[in-house]
Amino acid sequence: MSCLWIKERKVYKVLISKYEIKISGLNTTKMKIYFKFLSVLFLINILLTNIFGGLLNHDKNDDYIGTWLGKLKIQTGEIRIVFGIEKKDEKLSAYLDSPDQGNLNIPVDDVTITKDSLSLILSSIGVRYEGKIQRDSLKIVGVWKQNGEELPLEIKKIETVVMEKKPQEPAPPFPYNSENVIFENKGIKLVGTLTYPKDNLHFAAVILISDFGPQDRDETSFNHKPFLTISDYLTRNGLAVLRYDDRGIGGSTGRMDKATTLDFAEDVDAAIKYLKSRKEIDSTKIGLIGHSEGGLIASIIAARSKDIAFIVLLAGIGLPGDKLLPLQIKQISESEGEQPEKVKKNFILNKKLFSLAKTETDSISLKKKIAKVLTDYYNSLKEEDKKQIYDLNLFIDQQFQTLSGTWIKFFLQYDPRKDLEKVTCPVLTLNGAKDVQVPFKENLIEIRKALEKGHNKNIKIIEIQGLNHFFQSAISGRISEYKQLDDTFALKALEIIYNWINDTIKIKDGVN
């Protein structure tokens, strides 16, 4: 901008000097006209000096201040990524929102701006974003880096983010109490919402435990808020419900990238302890409703505690992690129309990789073995398929970063059947027959076997036709379909959950 300003000033100086030369030979009238024109030029020159001089003093970092929106392309479609960059007391800070997944206000640990480059680091979820700003079009062209993978991400400056509201999403005013709450687990602050009816009875209560990955208290996914929908339905019918942001998400502190399923179970223990401290809650009637990995967590807690009144497993898992993940990837690939030959080949590959990650304890040895498996796989591909991998070394690094992670190492080694055998409280298991993420037949068989082996006499296992992983009324069950559906959580599933809980613990009459 400074060059433009200097150029503009030179232009007008030349103009002024021209008219100064001609003024001496003019009559009075013409001189007045020229002086008026000269005055205008002088005024323009002052304005240009102020405007462009201001730009000379403008902090280029300020161009980054604001809200930036982009779409990250993943295997199952696109998700919106929002960066908010702020400046306070001359210091830059930022946050990340993933509105389609419901991950909001994830803090950015480091904001670095050098000339026209931007770098954002989010340690809690293992993300780094690097890009270059194009000031004329107010966009940043960059790369999203996570778990060794690099994906192109272009973000543009916008005024506001439009959040799509689904028909089933409840809205205030609510006919019950809704209170923001905070509880702690070993210094980690967990922030959530407690809803309970408006009378002063001691209410039975449930804690909602989220699915895999970073989730907010509503388990917002693909513009749906299933936990908000479940909470609203149950509280209207007399139950207290606690739901909370996962560690490192929304208002909660802590980090997810170094945590395992057992760490998340400790967070639920802290939630139980908090509910027991509330005078509105009947401490003898606290149950857990867990979705997918949340179901594993519910089983872990119920296996070691006699204080749990019941558990509800939504999309429940009965298979060990190293058996579940290859099946999951296979079923998702098939649902998205992948060629059968490629699905079979990838299934064999994933079984090998997961087996290595499960058994190999030395990271150097693990990387060498992963490199050998992936190199052999790469060499077996057709030339057009090799082009999709693009860079073999990068591909190996990406897989190693993923397979050596804290969470997946635990998950591959964990066998949920051992905990299910120890669960003595009543158990309801619901799985959708169109679930492509948790194969329902294989998992329901293992859940039933484990509960019966432990001599649990109060179990109910239901396979619900037509519902997907999120218990939406689905057409295909594909992940790419989730966002398109109006249904957030099928009413028939809500009714099954409520009626079973009521039959099990006799919920007191609540608000209708």
Q: Where are the domains of the chain?
A: 2-48, 61-158, 189-320+415-505, 322-410
Q: What distance in Å separates the CA atoms of residue 116 and residue 4, rounded to the nearest whole number?
A: 18
Q: What distance in Å separates the CA atoms of residue 76 and residue 312, rounded to the nearest whole number?
A: 28
Confidence of residue 26 (pLDDT cuts 50, 70, 90): very low
Neighbours of 173 (CB within 10 A): 6
Angle at CA of residue 268, ends 264 and 274, nearest 5°? 145
Question: Which pLDDT score, from 0 to 100, does residue 27 have?
Answer: 47
Question: Which pLDDT score, from 0 to 100, does residue 102 have?
Answer: 60
Question: Which pLDDT score, from 0 to 100, does residue 76 have?
Answer: 62
Confidence of residue 134 (pLDDT cuts 50, 70, 90): confident
Question: Which pLDDT score, from 0 to 100, does residue 75 have?
Answer: 65
> Per residue in 241-298, pLDDT tens?
999 999 988 899 998 888 999 999 999 999 999 999 999 999 999 999 999 999 999 9
Rounded to the nearest 10°, the torsion over CA 193, 198, 201, 203 is -30
- Yes or no: say if 278 and 194 are a contact pair by the CB < 8 Å rule: yes
Q: For residues 77 and 68, which has the higher predicted lDDT (pLDDT)? A: 68
Question: Which pLDDT score, from 0 to 100, does residue 181 have?
Answer: 98
- pLDDT(449) > 90: yes
Which residue matches tokens 């945590």?
259
Average pLDDT score over residue span 329-334: 92
Question: Which pLDDT score, from 0 to 100, does residue 41 have?
Answer: 37
Sign, Cα dihedral of 55, 60, 63, 65:
negative
> Per residue in 119-131, pLDDT tens?
999 877 778 899 9
- Retrieve residue 212's tokens: 């895999």
> Per residue in 171-209, pLDDT tens?
899 999 999 999 999 999 999 999 999 987 889 999 999
Question: Which pLDDT score, from 0 to 100, does residue 394 have?
Answer: 83
Average pLDDT score over residue span 90-103: 80
By the 10 Å C-beta count (0-12 exposed, 13-18 middle, 19+ buried), 480 is classed as: middle
Which residue matches tokens 């401490």?
283
Confidence of residue 23 (pLDDT cuts 50, 70, 90): very low
Q: What distance in Å separates the CA atoms of residue 357 and residue 322, rounded to the nearest whole number?
A: 9
Question: Which pLDDT score, from 0 to 100, does residue 148 have?
Answer: 67
Q: What distance in Å separates the CA atoms of residue 354 and residue 350, rounded to the nearest whole number?
A: 6
Q: What distance in Å separates the CA atoms of residue 340 and residue 183, rounded to the nearest whole number?
A: 49
- Retrieve residue 100's tokens: 């389609």
- Yes or no: say if 419 and 446 are a contact pair by the CB < 8 Å rule: no
Question: Which pLDDT score, from 0 to 100, does residue 98 have?
Answer: 82
Average pLDDT score over residue span 88-103: 80
Question: Which pLDDT score, from 0 to 100, does residue 21 have?
Answer: 35
How far is the CA of 48 from the CAs of 1, 51, 207, 472, in angstroms? 12, 5, 63, 60
- pLDDT(339) > 70: yes
- pLDDT(433) > 50: yes
Say what percent of the chain tops pLDDT 90: 58
Q: What is the pTM of this model?
A: 0.75
How far is the CA of 151 from the CAs of 131, 144, 293, 378, 398, in angstroms? 12, 5, 26, 21, 12
Average pLDDT score over residue span 291-319: 97
What CATH number does the domain located at 189-320+415-505 have? 3.40.50.1820
Q: For residues 228 and 159, which has the higher predicted lDDT (pLDDT)? A: 228
Question: Which pLDDT score, from 0 to 100, does residue 508 have?
Answer: 65
Q: Which helix (H) or strand (E) holds 412?
A: helix 406-413
Average pLDDT score over residue span 403-412: 93
Mean of pLDDT over the chain: 85
Indicate the fold that domain 61-158 takes in CATH.
Lipocalin (2.40.128)
Question: Which pLDDT score, from 0 to 100, does residue 80 have?
Answer: 87
Q: For residues 243 and 162, which has the higher predicted lDDT (pLDDT)? A: 243
295 phi and psi, to 5 degrees? -70, -40
Confidence of residue 395 (pLDDT cuts 50, 70, 90): confident
Question: Which pLDDT score, from 0 to 100, does residue 213 have?
Answer: 86
